Amino acid sequence: MPEHTPERLRALVDAFLRANDPAGERTAFLRARFDAGLAWVHFPPGLGGRGAPRHLQPVVDEAFDLAGAPDNRPRRNSIGLGMAAPTLLRHGTAGQQRRWLRPLWTGEEIWCQLFSEPGAGSDLAGLTTRAVRDGDDWVVDGQKVWTSLAHRARWAILLARTDPGMPKHRGITYFVCDMTAPGVEVRPLRQLTGEAEFNEVFLTGVRVPDAHRIGAVGEGWQVARTTLMNERVAIGGLPLPREGGMIGLLARGWRERPELRTPGLHEEVLRAWVRAEAARLTALRLRQQVAAGEPGPEGSAVKLSFAELAQWISGLEVEFLGAQGLRYDDWTLRRPAEPDLLGRTATYRYLRARGNSIEGGTSEILRTIVAERVLGLPREPRVDR
């Protein structure tokens, strides 16, 4: 039997489950799954995979789900799984991949992203955080902002300027920073929801070994593009069933609460349902394209659509609930392990969705990317290059 077929992979999962009890210790089970090459099946052998086509991953995940096996709680480590791992796979050394990928996949080590700065968010290439070479280390000074999971992270993917004399898209280097290192200070940023799921991070004389550099010195922008393309797919292209996500909550409420229906709102709900289904199928097609190679600029369109839909649907849900939709459960400052859009109130979803058009690339920047790189429209004048 050929190795890379759904039948062969299901047989491998069955054999693994006979040798490893899904009801046993969670971390030990996940480590064994990684070592068996049944974590990311499209990754190389020895790095959690089998070199199989990426589109076969759902076959493996479904087989483990049906057996009641524990997953790696992907929402707790979304940056590590969705952004750091594919970047390490493409640009990391063999030693870096062996050190970081296994505990990343099992969830033993959480990752965050030290990219945005107070003066370099949408214009990320304008970052000013400096890294100066000192022997076998780099000494990093600067400030990062909007850093999700920094208060829980063990590692961070970091962009810093190593040659300030170069044009801004050059002279940047990509590192992995130890979030427990001296000089790393994490401060919470309170959001509109009352929570603080992200932070500002101050780096003062932080020493980063050169062995933690990803890619060549000065070529961090090229490495970062891999991260950013995967980030937009990770945010906007998550696999969902029909009526999955927020549209499912709105549709369920419409069916179960007929006393709240109004004719005008009915038409809006129908429009939202159709757009959500179209976006879901587009994201499915994008994931199939990603299975054949690296994400392209189309991921920006999917993330843009996700942000607009989330804000529209959450607004419809609040409008549908009327006065009840104006109530909010808790303004207490909390530090959640992960955002919980579906398990909270409609008001929380409405407030939290405001950030969807900012995080992972602002909608304005994503429209420019779609215009120039997908539609082939003329580029905007750039005086900074």
Please indicate whether residue 364 is annotated as part of the active site: no
pLDDT > 70 in the chain, percent: 92
Q: What is the mean pLDDT of residues 334-360?
A: 83
- Integer-rounded Cα Rg, in Å, for the chain is 22
Express as a percent the part of the chain with pLDDT over 90.
60
Average pLDDT on 40-56 reads 92
Task: Identify whether the C-beta of residue 177 lies closer than 8 Å to the C-beta of residue 206.
Answer: yes
What is the identity of the amino acid at 69?
A
Question: Per-residue pLDDT tens for 77-117?
Answer: 989 998 999 999 999 999 999 999 999 999 999 999 999 99
- Domains within the chain, CATH numbers bracketed: 6-71 (no CATH), 111-218 (2.40.110.10), 237-374 (1.20.140.10)
| pLDDT at residue 307 greater than cutoff 50 | yes
pLDDT confidence tier of residue 342, bands split at 50, 70 and 90: confident
Q: What's the predicted TM-score (pTM) here?
A: 0.86
Mind listing the pLDDT tens digit for each residue in 284-305? 777 666 555 556 677 777 788 8
Dump pLDDT digits (tens) for 136-180.
999 999 999 999 999 999 999 999 999 999 988 899 999 999 999
DSSP string, 111-143: EEEE--BTTBSSSGGG---EEEEETTEEEEEEE
DSSP 326: G
- 1 band by pLDDT with thresholds 50, 70 and 90: very low
- From 195, 231, 298, 317, active-site residue: 231
SS3 state of residue 153: coil
Whole-number mean pLDDT of the chain?
Answer: 89
